[in-house]
Amino acid sequence: MTRDEWVTACNSRLADRCIKNFSALEISDVGRVNQGVSLSAPPLWMLSNAYRLIDVLEWVRAEGGAAPILINSWFRNADYNRVVGGVSSSMHLTLGAADIVKVGTSPAELADLIEGHPESDLLGLGRYHTFTHVDIRGMIGRPAPARWNRT
């Protein structure tokens, strides 16, 4: 699927669900190149995972004072995931993970905030110096919770 086809198809499905705070290119920046490997579009059937993650991200966006959520990385196809150093079983491969920043909130504060999510026992949470990883592993049948610290 081309970048334009992905944007049209994904944004249409997001609009059908009245999702306004996240866009197709935040979910997958199709065509982005890293070390000669291009990021492809995810299969559209995987969007059900993105919708679950968006529910979590909308909670994060509103909790502790509404602020924008910036996406560093969401979907990664296997080759792209490999070149950026992702683990082979990464939740990014499923549309079920995002590396995020909440404007005005430090990564540590953001991770602490996510620990307070009503379904935090179903989430993966990674603490990093410049961002926070959140995923929906327990919502799609993977063992949860999962926590790690790379700060």
pLDDT (tens digit per residue) in 135-149: 999 999 999 999 999
Q: How far apart are CA 111 and CA 149, in angstroms?
A: 10
pLDDT for the residue numbered 118:
97
pTM: 0.95
- At the topology level of CATH, where does 45-150 sit? Muramoyl-pentapeptide Carboxypeptidase; domain 2 (3.30.1380)
Phi-psi region of 40 (alpha: psi -120 to 50; beta: other; left: phi over 0): beta
Average pLDDT, the chain: 97
Q: What residues pair up with 107 in beta bridges, in sequence order? A: none
- Assign 3-class secondary structure to 90-120: CHHHHCCEEEEEECCCCHHHHHHHHHCCCCH
pLDDT for the residue numbered 97:
98
Domain ranges of the chain: 45-150
